Amino acid sequence: MPPHESMSEWRRKFKQRDDEFRVAVEYHADLDAALGQMEQLVNSGDGISGEALRAALVKARAGAAGLDIHLRNTGRPSLYTERCPERARGLAQRVFDLPELLELILSKLPVLELLKCYRINRQWNHAIQSSANLQRQLSLRADTLDGHFQSVFRGRICGYSEVLPGFGTRAFFSTHRALSSYEETLPGNEILFKAEFASTSDYFRMPKQIGSRVRRMFICQPPVKELRVYLECCRYNFTHHAEDHDRPSATVTNDKGLTIGDLLDKTVEMLDAHKFCANAEVFMLDDETGEVKNEVSFRGTVVLKEDDPMLIEKREKEDARKRELQEKKLRRQYIERYRTAARLEKRIRPCQIFRSSSQRLREEKPKQQHEDKYEITIYEQSAGWSETWLCLQGTLPELYGGLKDHDTDEFHVPNNKMSAQHAPRPFNGTEITTGHATYTVSGT
């Protein structure tokens, strides 16, 4: 939508396009009916040139098929299905007359389409209104069944909503870059929740009047009861860098759970109160009116249940982060020990963190039902002679562990060589170099 085009003009063009599509669908239906009559005449054989009529029939059918493909590819499916035979319409009505089947069918629709179904007829309106499942799907009723986090706006991390243009919600495991750098990862079962309307410029002018059903929608499930309000004009202190972090301007609360209507009313209230805010920077002022081009956002925390999939994912990421930090710490300690030993011309054992990492990978990797077993013979080569030094049997992880246990020095494998640790199977001629000699791997 171009910036100079108003929302009403855009909606008018959108409706005009749909009306033109409906006319094209009617033309297609008339053409199809006429071709059916021609086909009946051909089959009757009452003094009509069959060959010529059949040729015209083939041509007309081809044109109808092309029009059909065009309509399917260019129009919305919901508009195309408006053209259906009377028999199919009757069969569909018989299905819709069963409340259980109607509820099941409606539950497969996205939220925006489900909202439109309120206006189909009284039967559909009553079916949606009386169904607890559909009401929860529309976020019009608090979810007390599983209590898992969800949002009506396309999942836990999304952009602007199709239900309400210019509105979006997000959920984070921890603080985002846009939030304070002093805040740490949220502890326990909490996640960070963010909701905001788009900028109040002409391009994304937010609606001040929305439908009653959309106003009653919870912004997330389980419903959050309190959020902090942030305004762009008062969010940062641009003069004193020591206080350069998020500062909430107000809070919005609802004991039953915050809805879109609550956030919209608070947004309009805060924009009017800070229309000429003294804290706003020059680049935030409108060149013509002098008003602050402000943005309002809402942030808070949501407490999740123990079995919530999002909480499980959060814990897995936290555990991975802790393991990574621990390994980095051990590596730094090993590097310091290695440098100290090098200065004293001493040798130290390899860093155990590398071995523990390989062991953890072997434990996390699903065990195969039938792991291949190999035999490796290691020959010690020195001064033109070779002697059998070690013979091992077992799976690849076992063989690699055995090699580590029998060698007191750190392995050094050249980049152009492959070791038993990395190779999919032992390769004859693989060289392993230690501080004493070079070992050649052979076997099957």
Q: Is the pLDDT of residue 75 over 60?
A: yes
CB 57 within 8 A of CB 38: yes
Residues 125 and 179 placed together within one structural domain of the fold: no
pLDDT grade for 437, boundaries at 50, 70 and 90: very low
pLDDT tens digits, one per residue of 205-215? 445 556 788 88
- Determine the pLDDT at residue 435: 43
User: Between 151 and 201, where is the model more confident?
Assistant: 151
* In-domain check, residue 203: yes
Dihedral sign, CA of 5, 10, 12, 18? positive
Q: Is the pLDDT of residue 181 over 70?
A: no
pLDDT grade for 204, boundaries at 50, 70 and 90: very low
- Whichever domain contains 14, its CATH number is 1.10.287
- Determine the pLDDT at residue 200: 43
User: Between 331 and 373, where is the model more confident?
Assistant: 331
Please report which residue ranges of 309-427 form alpha helices under DSSP H: 309-343, 352-364, 396-406
Residues 187 and 300 placed together within one structural domain of the fold: yes
pTM summary value: 0.51
Highest mean pLDDT among 5-19, 71-85, 314-328: 314-328
Residue span of the structural domain in which 258 resides:
167-305
Residues 204 and 318 placed together within one structural domain of the fold: no
Residues 330 and 301 placed together within one structural domain of the fold: no
Residues 339 and 239 placed together within one structural domain of the fold: no
* In-domain check, residue 46: yes
* In-domain check, residue 197: yes
Q: What mean pLDDT is reported for the chain?
A: 68
pLDDT tens digits, one per residue of 77-131? 666 666 666 666 778 888 889 999 999 999 998 887 888 889 888 999 999 999 9
Residues 66 and 101 placed together within one structural domain of the fold: no
* In-domain check, residue 418: no
- Nearest-angstrom CA–CA distance, 268 and 266: 6
* In-domain check, residue 230: yes
Range from 122-131, 186-195, 376-385, 418-427 carrying the lowest mean pLDDT: 418-427
Highest mean pLDDT among 239-248, 378-387, 393-402: 393-402
Residues 178 and 301 placed together within one structural domain of the fold: yes
User: Between 4 and 152, where is the model more confident?
Assistant: 152
Secondary structure in 3-state letters for 154-208:
CCCEEEECCCCCCEEEEEECCCCCCCCCCCCCCCCCEEEEEEEECCCCCCCCCCC
Using a 10 angstrom Cβ sphere, with 0-12 exposed, 13-18 middle and 19 or more buried, the burial of residue 236 is middle
**Considering 251, 279, 305, which residue would you say is the last residue of a domain?**
305
- Determine the pLDDT at residue 373: 55
Q: Is the pLDDT of residue 432 over 60?
A: no
- Determine the pLDDT at residue 263: 84
- Determine the pLDDT at residue 106: 92
Q: Which residues pair with 390 in a beta bridge?
A: 378
Residues 230 and 264 placed together within one structural domain of the fold: yes
Residues 247 and 300 placed together within one structural domain of the fold: yes
CB 160 within 8 A of CB 169: no
Mean pLDDT, to the nearest integer, of 313-318?
A: 80
pLDDT tens digits, one per residue of 243-290? 444 566 788 889 888 888 888 888 888 888 888 887 777 777 777 877
pLDDT grade for 202, boundaries at 50, 70 and 90: very low
Residues 211 and 281 placed together within one structural domain of the fold: yes
Highest mean pLDDT among 35-49, 143-157, 313-327: 313-327
User: Between 156 and 308, where is the model more confident?
Assistant: 308
Q: At what angle do helices 7-44 and 50-74 cross, to 10 degrees?
A: 160
* In-domain check, residue 246: yes
- Nearest-angstrom CA–CA distance, 444 and 434: 23
Residues 177 and 295 placed together within one structural domain of the fold: yes
- The domain total for the chain is 4
